Structure 1
């Protein structure tokens, strides 16, 4: 399956395993890359030296290309970028920040840069900044999201219409059929997050993985829009947030309730009551925990079958 995305990253299939906080360590990234797709280490939940350790372990576990996802809102961003260069990582996905800040700096050092956006406006800004590809993510996605709540079905064709660089679709993609749908809409490849949370190699806590499997349609909701919109599984913490909203809280009151480390507590440590549990709407059709290689094979088998069915219409 050769196209712009496989050529850009030198991978076999146009699928990217999302670099999710507390889920995407070296085991997941290397397993993804070994399966013929692009694995990403999620730097957002790692101190710089922890990230270095994960990169080094990933290099030992795979000879295939892999990258690092870097949310640009952290204070030690320079140290993180320096480590990426020192460890000779060749692919960086940036998010949660202005792509102009780091794109040129990374590209001058021979690194392929992809930026994650949630709107056409920011896709065009990223293209202008010189990135090599765009991930356009609809609000079905888990974790932090766009304020405009634009769905993947709407976002991809709007971005495709004006973009001249490769386009990767994200948000609500976990199966071969959803992959095919995104590519019919104009995407050159897909980024998959939630499906890989429920994998054997994910660094998420086993209890969180099982909760993802048990999650049904309607069990997730976008909230905390005043801080940074985030899609969460409804649990006690989520309910506490909604109760606070009844009193028209200030931003400071929301920050106080959120506190620090809730995402780690929920997804990594398995506190399903007080933790922040980030997952996408597509979790409603994730029914098992499987090895990454099996997830990729199942997606590709379903993609090819669905493609044949459409060709026969």
Structure 2
């Protein structure tokens, strides 16, 4: 039995494919449940307590009681209530992303939940292991969404594997098809994480206009434009907001980045359930943007004033398909 097979058996996976835990409502119960029912690992992204609990419950009903389900918690938005819900919903594993994620390891272990920390290089990996992480997520800058990544996955994965010293490492960034998954497994990853592929599914909570733009996009930008309250770099496709404020390389004005850092404490007090309301106040010409993304429940015009997260491999994704088919296409 190889390492990937061993990890899959431990978690209960049939296929070493993990659906990324995209936050803010993209990971619907239908999406997560369908991925897990198809043999992969569906992951619920962070959201307000009520929605988080309801989404995990729906995913469990769809996947069945014996299929694994994960949750992805984003620092600084995570609260003890999220930990409690994960335990009550029998989440198989939690991934954590964000500066200071290590401080939540003890709380999760106290509820019997294994923890994988998202890291971008050996230094971050060392901190996570020292704090007690059970495993790691090696993230490359190819990934869509928010980044702990600082270099391409091909460079980051070997050094993170060295630090992991036999602990399971999942690989994220640039996963579009089965060949990508095979390559990462051969390099030592236990499973591959795909985000944009699952964004482009029938069950995704992303607004159809968001999905359409991802399918038509020719490039992505790594920026800090959508940073009010959470100043991590993130990868998006261009829209009216980036065209107004970003340079060709994605660089946002220094004052926007500074406000994003200063406003970090805001994310600890504004409920996640209120982000949709906050997004209504965003205007392209104001230059202040949160991490909100456009969901099906929002007006189509939100696609120009919220973040359109997507990974670098979007040019290899040409259709919107059922989540089960996405798992099958990614299966090595």
Q: Same fold (TM over 0.5)?
A: yes
Scaled by the length of structure 1, the TM-score of the pair is: 0.86
Contact kept in structure 2, 1:266 and 1:276, CA below 8 Å = no
Contact kept in structure 1, 2:18 and 2:41, CA below 8 Å = yes
Q: How many residues align?
A: 295
Task: Classify 1:269/1:183 alpha carbon distance in 2 versus 1 (closer, same or farther; 3 Å).
Answer: farther
Q: How far apart, CA to CA, are the structure 1 residues paired with 2:297 and 2:174?
A: 19
Aligned counterpart in structure 2 of residue 240 of structure 1, from 240, 244, 249:
244
1:278 shift after superposition: 0.7
Q: How far apart, CA to CA, are the structure 2 residues paired with 1:82 and 1:155?
A: 33
Which residue of structure 2 lines up, in the alignment, with residue 173 of structure 1?
175
Q: How far apart, CA to CA, are the structure 2 residues paired with 1:262 and 1:20?
A: 11
Which residue of structure 1 lines up, in the alignment, with residue 61 of structure 2?
60
> In the alignment, is residue 223 of structure 1 matched against residue 223 of structure 2?
yes
Q: How far apart, CA to CA, are the structure 1 residues paired with 2:57 and 2:11?
A: 19
> In the alignment, is residue 249 of structure 1 matched against residue 249 of structure 2?
no
Q: How far apart, CA to CA, are the structure 1 residues paired with 2:189 and 2:297?
A: 30
Aligned counterpart in structure 2 of residue 77 of structure 1, from 74, 79, 84:
79
Q: How far apart, CA to CA, are the structure 1 residues paired with 2:5 and 2:92?
A: 19
Q: How far apart, CA to CA, are the structure 1 residues paired with 2:98 and 2:297?
A: 20
Q: How far apart, CA to CA, are the structure 2 residues paired with 1:267 and 1:142?
A: 22
1:5 shift after superposition: 2.4
Aligned counterpart in structure 2 of residue 30 of structure 1, from 30, 33, 40:
33
Aligned counterpart in structure 1 of residue 328 of structure 2, from 292, 297, 302:
297
Task: Classify 1:266/1:276 alpha carbon distance in 2 versus 1 (closer, same or farther; 3 Å).
Answer: farther
Scaled by the length of structure 2, the TM-score of the pair is: 0.81
Q: How far apart, CA to CA, are the structure 1 residues paired with 2:99 and 2:81?
A: 16
Contact kept in structure 2, 1:4 and 1:166, CA below 8 Å = no
Classify the secondary structure of the residue corresponding to 1:102.
helix
Classify the secondary structure of the residue corresponding to 2:127.
helix
Q: How far apart, CA to CA, are the structure 2 residues paired with 1:246 and 1:196?
A: 28
Aligned counterpart in structure 1 of residue 142 of structure 2, from 115, 140, 145:
140
Q: How far apart, CA to CA, are the structure 2 residues paired with 1:23 and 1:108?
A: 29
Q: How far apart, CA to CA, are the structure 1 residues paired with 2:42 and 2:83?
A: 18
Which residue of structure 1 lines up, in the alignment, with residue 22 of structure 2?
20
Which residue of structure 1 lines up, in the alignment, with residue 281 of structure 2?
none
